[in-house]
Amino acid sequence: MQSSRIIIIMGPVLLWLATAGCGAAGGSEAGNPTRTLNGSVGLKSTGSGCEADQVITTNAANETLSATVASDCTFTLSVKSNRVYRLDLLSANTHIGSLETDPGPGRFPSPVVHVMGADTSLDLGELRITDGIATPSKEPAKQEDADDDGVNNFADADDDADGVADGDEEDCDLDGILDDFDLDTATCGGKVGNIRVFEVLPRSGEGSGGLRAKAKLTQPIRVRLSCRVALASVTATTFQVAPADDPASGLSCLLAVDASDKEIRCDHAGMAPTTLYRASLDGVQCEDGTTAPTTSWTWMTRDS
Ligand SMILES: [Ca+2]
Ligand SMILES: [Ca+2]
Ligand SMILES: [Ca+2]
Ligand SMILES: [Ca+2]
């Protein structure tokens, strides 16, 4: 099963936008006002009927709320403000898609929608489902202004005006829910000084439990660190991806570091279906010689 790993470090070849992005925000509304979250789904390609018949939100406490999709394919939910929600679409009780939002430049796609304390409804527009990912035609971050400074969350470099840039907000368990909103930070990994892992893809725990979408087999494995990494330290030894129960059958990664030198990416020929994978970072060094925190996380792949 194991083939020799081919590792090519490509330096700053892949150019990604690396400007500060938008992240979470707290709210200062009194109490916990509710807010209308609405949107629509498309028609089935086979003819009449909507792609989904049920929408379910899940908050950070794993509490769910569901709404039936109306005959015109729209849905409306009333959710508590100042929280984050996963949103999943079902058809005939089968999971067909999970919402993925764009929090802003320089950040990985987010598995949650941030619902802040505004009075207006939050309109996701039409959710377009491709490969199990439901992309809103109206990005929620562009409709939110958590710190009321006139700059929407998408464009604001520090959504919650706490002095921590959005791209530097912590998600210590790497599940895609920032610490500001996460109720379960007990499983957080370590950090070394100020060096930390900010984000990973697939997210930690992706596809494990509940309605959560599983990782696409072709999903590149990505890690965004707080420091510029020393290219020579990114190797098949220091960055490994393999089935959790078969570490010897590692993916052959084409490893690359982006233009910011802070993101490491593994492109590969495809992961095995229905398999729990683990990625581990152990011994990657920053340019200043500091060793990045030893980090590992797991996710489940799709059935095909
Ligand atoms: Ca703002
Ligand atoms: Ca914050
Ligand atoms: Ca902030
Ligand atoms: Ca988290």
pLDDT of residue 187: 66
What whole-number distance in Å separates Cα of residue 270 and Cα of residue 253? 10
Distances (CA, A) of 191 to 12, 177, 235, 260, 290: 25, 18, 21, 20, 11
Q: Give pLDDT tens digits for 13-70.
A: 333 323 233 333 333 345 678 999 999 999 998 878 999 999 999 999 889 999 999 9
Q: Give pLDDT tens digits for 204-217.
A: 999 987 667 899 99
10 Å CB burial of residue 217 (0-12, 13-18, 19+) is: middle
The domain ranges of the chain are 1-20+165-304, 34-142
pLDDT of residue 258: 94
What whole-number distance in Å separates Cα of residue 279 and Cα of residue 203? 11
Domain 1-20+165-304 in CATH 2.60.40.1220: yes
Q: How far is the CA of 174 from the centre of ligand 4 (A)?
A: 5
Q: How far is the CA of 228 from the centre of ligand 3 (A)?
A: 21
Ligand nearest to the Cα of 142, by number: 1
Residues around ligand 4, an ion, CB closer than 5 A: 171, 173, 175, 177, 182
Q: How far is the CA of 87 from the centre of ligand 4 (A)?
A: 16
Domain 34-142 carries which CATH code?
2.60.40.10
The pTM of this model reads 0.86
Q: Evaluate the CA torsion angle 195, 200, 162, 104 in order and state its sign.
A: positive
Closest of 2, 83, 90 to residue 37, by C-alpha: 83
Q: Quickly tell me which residue has 């965004």 as its tokens.
A: 224
What whole-number distance in Å separates Cα of residue 211 and Cα of residue 43? 22
- Residue 91: CB atoms within 10 A of its CB come to 18
Q: Where are the beta strands (DSSP E) in 64-112?
A: 64-68, 74-80, 83-91, 94-99
Q: How far is the CA of 194 from the centre of ligand 3 (A)?
A: 16
pLDDT of residue 12: 39
